Amino acid sequence: MAVLKVLVAFAGIFLAVYFYSAGDVFEPAMLKGKRVIVTGASSGIGEQMAYHLAKMGSHILITARTEEKLKKVVAQCTQLGAASAHYIAGSMDNLTFAKQVVHKAENLFGALDMLILNHIGHTYFGYFDGNVDHVRGLLEINVLSYATMTVAALPMLKKSNGNIVVVSSIAGKIGLPLSVPYSTTKFALDGFFSSLRMEFIQQNTNVSITLCVISYIDTDSAVKTVSGVIQQPAAPKEECALEIIKGGSLRKREVYYQYHATKIPLLLRDWAPELLQSLLLKNYNMDNFQRREV
């Protein structure tokens, strides 16, 4: 009898764990036929996300400023099996354009399932130069356009019980040197979207918000920017792009990529900030440093 009780208890635990984690299993088919916007998709991680979505059979609208690059990415997406692939070119320093992107998706697809906010404006990798106007401009591109697109897309996302995916950085959770304006904007995203997520829960708004905390990735722009200064190896953009899509689709609060390069520093952040500070500073080889434009 006792053995039976133990067996029943184990079966219960097994089933609980099985069903609890069942929602955590990603299937590429989850994105089939889904209507997705990806910003900053003419290069880097955004471009790779477009290719993954294409392979999964999504309807894709991509955007960035450079029309020539967008055309090539759209052609590649069509080849890879996208249900449909479109682009709209423009700059996110213009908030009217940010709205237009969402309206274009509405006209093309009649609905929206996932909004992937990924673009960033140009900045510099170097000591803060005192230019607060640059910080303001970067806030417009990296934060206010994200907020604007979110507001414009929300009615559609509510109807589809959709997902908002925000690409941030470890530099949006931990202050790092040489990227003051950039870090400012990424921290702001955490404030806006974490707060909004809480309100969605209070209001029973079934739209998920996934904040992606990303470490150093091997995109052309990042490698060019930090080479010689950062010792740490860069993680692959293809895998990074896939992890972001998975996290958004599974409605995770946050994605950590690479896990160890983000979770360990974050664990130290609140409990051993001085230790973290000294470990992080060792990553920077300042002998090779000169200011670079990104």
Ligand X SMILES: NC(=O)C1=CN([C@@H]2O[C@H](COP(=O)(O)OP(=O)(O)OC[C@H]3O[C@@H](n4cnc5c(N)ncnc54)[C@H](OP(=O)(O)O)[C@@H]3O)[C@@H](O)[C@H]2O)C=CC1
CB atoms within 10 A of CB 249: 22
Q: Where are the alpha helices (DSSP H) in 82-205?
A: 95-109, 132-139, 145-160, 180-202
Binder to ligand X among 60, 61, 74, 92 (CB under 6 A)?
Answer: 92
Residues known to be catalytic: 182
Contact 210, 162 (CB under 8 A): no
Residue in the shown chain whose Cβ atom is closest to ligand X: 44
How far apart, in whole angstroms, are the C-alpha atoms of residue 216 and residue 237? 9
The alpha carbons of the chain give a radius of gyration, in whole angstroms, of 21
Residue nearest ligand 0GV (C-beta atom): 169
Please report whether residue 118 would count as binding ligand X according to CB under 6 A. Answer: yes
222 binds ligand X (CB under 6 A): yes
Of the candidate residues 66, 232, 285, 288, the single one contacting ligand 0GV (CB under 6 A): 232
Which pair of structure tokens corresponds to residue 110? 């009649």
Q: Is 222 in the site for ligand 0GV (CB under 6 A)?
A: yes
Site for ligand 0GV in 262-281 (CB under 6 A): 265, 280
d(CA 238, CA 262): 18
Residue 74 interacts with, from ligand X, ligand 0GV, none (CB under 5-8 Å by kind) = none
Please report whether residue 258 would count as binding ligand 0GV according to CB under 6 A. Answer: no
Q: Is 13 exposed, middle or buried (0-12, 13-18, 19+ CB in 10 A)?
A: exposed
Q: What minimum distance in Å lies between the beta carbon of 178 and ligand 0GV?
A: 7
What residues line the site for ligand 0GV (CB under 6 A)? 125, 169-171, 176, 179, 182, 215-216, 221-222, 225-226, 230, 232, 261, 265, 280, 283, 294
